[in-house]
Structure 1
């Protein structure tokens, strides 16, 4: 199992965009094997089983009302053996976790905030206490888009006891990453704190780190930043993102707000990458290759890496086209994700958006010229306005690996060389500049 990589954003695969609530053990393992063989050497190391792994009647395109969730005598969730056959012996997801770890990867698992309604109705014992699951639930606290659970009543001492035991239950299987939903919209500060405490206790018991990912981030405010950093590793800053150009454009603004705060203290998450082969049995849409074109895909990936968002691939890896996989593992792009700092928006004028970032030692600078227009256009930006100081004559286009020539300094440009480049419709030119620390302001 690879170590927790706190200094770089998480990179992984998530089952949601391809399989919705219906993913199987075989499909998870197929994606894990593909990742280990084709992607791990560029930092991809986690496979996440998303929602409803405990729901025997789960179906594509949504959730079932009053779903008959599987749980044990304490209300702790259990995988559906028909979809996860290694769990048929009662060992939960231990077999799947072992297989994923043997590939050098980490296993992630989705949970909903709270406790199953049916477990509450059954009044099951909370381990080591005189209370039952009926005592610790807040039946007034529910999720608007999934009716499986009630919230926990965190003013009741039994709630933390039960949550500690539930998290220990799944981490004990070998789970390394928890995506916990219905946490941020609205913002449930008590649930966030209780989850973090339970995870810290499980980490201490089992001797390994567990990544905490919170979602969804609809209308998430920067006022929550300190609280999020104290209790989570990554947090969504938007609602679900799909393979629509307008979704990508919307993330430009959100990324500009959150990117300055990305770092080892926590990673603002621009959501999964709806790329490659998606919609096989998903919540939205039919089976398809992602509707984003090549330039739109590279715009998305460039923005995510400059903003240092986690990269969680949503497409089914074994059936995703080779060009998309090549972009996901492009070493020049991943270098931005792993090594950059200070990624931020520098300029926004009409359809032109300019971002920049650099290495902490000042030896490398990246500049991205985004064109959100529906047609290709020339974008001319003074190098200084793009965050480049001096005479950057060693610019390289990261995506094409071709040298970029700058225009000479003129009086009109304020004695500054000019980046004057053709940028495709909905596209980006990502430039890399080798420099020296003394060149940077």
Structure 2
């Protein structure tokens, strides 16, 4: 594996939800500065420039056929100088990386599987070989949704040399994180292995993220763990309850396998000011309710998914930013284990996880459109029947009262006599995020 095991999921910002294919150097650096000042103390440390940073004609709401992508002499994508002026004279993303590193942050960039079709047309020489791009291109394995790339023929040795050359270039710029797209649907095992090998040969520690995750099967788990830091388990996620709710079932399958060997990824968090020049929708504050935002974060965190915020940080609502500044909540992401869905019954979904020193976590979600009052059984939370500590709702900061059930009643329905009942009322599409701390 090219990247070392990571003790916690990556956390950062990605330009896609707010700026789509059109993000500029100024916007990247503004988000980096905001992150360093307001979010780095809470663990957010990665700034990712998403797709089409080489296209001088990039636009919102889609891709351009036959785009005049910026390439070097060896068919490798380089930044568009118009949007990234510091990349002039072959500097690439080096100057931006230097500024981001000076803030204590890491730089990530998006790449596509394969080789640019424009490089195939120009028949660029593959660096370090006597072969050309046209010899290694595979037009029969093109991306289904993006017009820029040809596939690679991995039976040809220069295909590996091409991936080696692009990763070496990006490593020389100081890139720390690669979001590699069109890798998982359909599953491109040869490309994943070749890119992982290229990262190893680059000599730089670079984390590898794979996308998109439509219909991703658990049968791929060991291969993913061997070659990547994180991998998407869904298609693009946007600011609708339907998108959020669909990930409950996916995380239930994948979360038990999250850990230092790799992180199942529920996609970016479409929170804050999004759609500015994005693929989908007009400029807006995300359309999730406050309860849905807390549910989104709680599910991603208790499932230990990577967290990449999609909203423009400097112009996002302060209340949204405050949700990202909760060390007690983020401790579940960085320091819990045994994370799993315990049950799903009607509109109620219950997750639990273990903390350190006897701490236990639980997230009780209400998928329904009406308030839900329920008494949780301490046994379902893996808590002792007689509690000797305190339970706190981490979002409200309030203590949660408990009682030992002496006989069956409507107020403690489903909790056996002799067990401790934990009554909670959960707002529509909301969550009760609980922490038990022993005395």
Cα deviation, residue 6, structure 1: 1.2
Q: Does 1:409 align with 2:405?
A: yes
Residue aligning to 1:179: 179
* 2:219 alignment partner, one of 210, 223, 229: 223
Hey, what does 1:39 align to over in structure 2?
A: 39
Give the alignment of 1:28-427 within 5 angstroms: 28-202=28-202, 204=203, 208-359=204-355, 361-392=356-387, 393-412=389-408, 413-414=415-416, 415-427=418-430
Q: Output the TM-score relative to the length of structure 1.
A: 0.95
Secondary structure, counterpart of 1:378 in structure 2: strand
Q: Does 1:27 align with 2:30?
A: no
1:100-143: CA deviation from partner (whole Å, max 9, x where unpaired): 00100000000000000010111111122221100011110111
For residues 8-66 of structure 1, the C-alpha deviation after alignment (integer angstroms, 9 at most, x for no partner) is 10000000000000000000000000000000011000000000000111000100111
Offset of residue 5 of structure 1: 8.2
Give the deviation of 1:187 after TM superposition: 0.2
Aligned counterparts, 1:423-434, within 5 A:
423-434=426-437
Matched residue SS, 1:418: strand
Contact map agreement 1:346 1:387 (CA 8 A) in 2: no
CA distance in 2, matches of 1:196, 1:4: 12
3-state DSSP class of the match of 2:35? helix
For residues 401 and 5 of structure 1, the distance between their equivalents in structure 2, rounded to whole angstroms, comes to 33
- How far the C-alpha of 1:332 sits from its partner, in A, is 1.2
Task: State how far apart, in whole Å, the 2-side matches of 1:417 and 1:299 are.
Answer: 25
Cα distance in 2, alignment partners of residues 387 and 259 from structure 1: 18
Contact 2:116 2:149 (8 Å CA) reproduced: yes
* C-alpha RMSD of the superposition: 1.3
Aligned residues: 429
8 Å contact from structure 1 (residues 53, 80) kept in 2: yes
The answer to whether the 8 Å contact 2:5/2:229 transfers is no
- Deviation, 1:233, is 0.1
Task: For residue 410 of structure 1, give the secondary structure of its aligned residue in structure 2.
Answer: coil
1:363 Cα offset (Å): 1.6
Q: How far is the alpha carbon of 1:4 from its aligned partner?
A: 8.1
Asked whether 1:14 is paired with 2:14, we answer yes
Partner of 1:439: none
1:387 CA drift (Å): 2.5
Q: Hey, what's the Cα distance between the residues in 2 that align with 1:25 and 1:5?
A: 31
Which secondary structure does the structure 2 equivalent of 1:41 belong to?
helix
Q: How far apart, in 1, do the equivalents of 2:5 and 2:89 lie? A: 33
SS of aligned partner of 1:400: coil
Q: CA deviation at 1:281?
A: 0.2
Preserved contact between residue 410 and residue 417 of structure 1 (Cα < 8 Å): no
Q: TM-score, normalised by structure 2?
A: 0.96
Q: Secondary structure at 1:422's aligned position in 2? A: strand
Provide the C-alpha distance between the structure 2 equivalents of 1:384 and 1:410, rounded to a whole number of angstroms: 15
Post-superposition Cα deviations, 1:218-249, rounded to whole Å, max 9, x if no partner, equal: 00000000000000000000000000001111
Question: CA separation in 2, counterparts of 1:341 and 1:370?
Answer: 19
In the aligned structure 2, how far is the partner of 1:408 from the partner of 1:157? 68
Deviates more, 1:181-190 or 1:320-329: 320-329
Q: Would the alpha carbon gap of residues 333 and 301 (structure 1) be closer, same or farther in structure 2, given more than 3 Å must change?
A: same
Secondary structure of 1:198 counterpart: helix
Judge conservation of contact 2:5–2:262 (CA < 8 Å) in 1: no
The offset of 1:421, in angstroms, is 1.0
Show structure 2 runs of 5+ residues with no match.
409-414
Native 8 Å contact 1:333 1:398 kept in 2? yes
